[in-house]
Amino acid sequence: MTNNLTFVIVLSIEPVIGAIAAGNAVVLKPSEIAPATSSLFAKLLPEYVDSSCIKVVEGGVTETGALLEQKWDKIFYTGNGNVARVVLAAAAKHLTPVALELGGKCPVIVDSNVDLHVAAKRIAVGKWGCNNGQACIAPDYIITTKAFVTELVDSLKRVLERFYGEDPLQSADLSRIVNISHFGRLTKLIDDKEVATKIQLGGQTDQEQLKIAPTVLVDVPLDTALMTGEIFGPLLPIITVDKIEESIAHINAGAKPLAAYLFTKDKKLQQDFVSNVSAGGMLVNDVALHLTNPHLPFGGVGDSGMGSYHGKFSFDCFTHRKAVLIRGFGGEANARYPPYTAEKQRILRGLIKGSFFALILALLGFPREKR
């Protein structure tokens, strides 16, 4: 079941492939907020896939509610945390296991010990080149030091001008905002007086085209809507700290993100980041690419989800590991059966202790050592 706006095809089909490969029949409920894709699934899947292994159900809240009332072997949901809580509550009635692929505020730590031009390019393409920030793994905010922030902003400015020109709203390479509702939500975030004064570059909007220019902000108050919720758009705030090591505590003070990123050549900082930050996945010196690796699990932790998939992990997600033991009728161990004589108890004690020597002595009938 999906409720997402981006990567609608792959985020719907990839779990389906894993589920069918694992021997399951599937009911797919595509996102109603991507109706064209939903209709395409409903039309094409019955033409190419055996209808006994997959059914497509279209619709909105009513249809989703009816599906959730049923007893399933597994529910897989991609979307936001609010709907995920509804899914979990419905699943709890039947004790149905659930996998959730959600979102969150994905942080990027940028140390001064980097190749700044390369780092800026990778951050920019991961943020604005990835559906103009409308992706669950897009960088949500940056943490860097007060001493380095000006240099970082200048580098991002140069990279963005190279990528999208002097007027990014006219660039064919810059994605539109998905709909008028999300356009309004994003413009409201930067219209906030406490936020608007923090814009360092960008901020231009075009409602007719549903476009918002790449926008970088510095030291936005942490209690604003921009900093408390997932942005899911082209706005990139930068938080400054005195020492880069403080960034780990800042990340851990918030909800656990779906992805966390670090740019540094410092091996100790890399190790501290990997060891101490709790996130669904992480990447050092790049962003988003872990999603493309089929040999890595993809999924969240805490507020960003539960369970994982991709590649073999998709198969595992929809598989129950059932223990099976088949025995013959020989090799009876009489010590397991009553009455439990002193001799049998000695044998059992040897087994429990894991003492091979004591077990051999008991089987040979030697008396127990006195202590």
Q: Give me the active site residues, please.
A: 101, 136
Cross-sheet strand order for the sheet of 98-101: 75-78, 98-101, 305-306
Q: Which of 353, 352, 334 is nearest to 343 (CA)?
A: 334
CA separation for the pair 184, 190 (Å, rounded): 10
CB half-sphere exposure, 22, CA atoms < 13 A: 22
Is-contact 90 68, C-beta < 8 A?
yes
Residue 114 CA: distances (Å) to CA of 151, 266, 284, 286: 12, 9, 11, 12
CA separation for the pair 234, 134 (Å, rounded): 7
Q: Which of 131, 128, 96, 33 is nearest to 318 (CA)?
A: 96
Q: Which of 35, 213, 217 is nearest to 141 (CA)?
A: 217
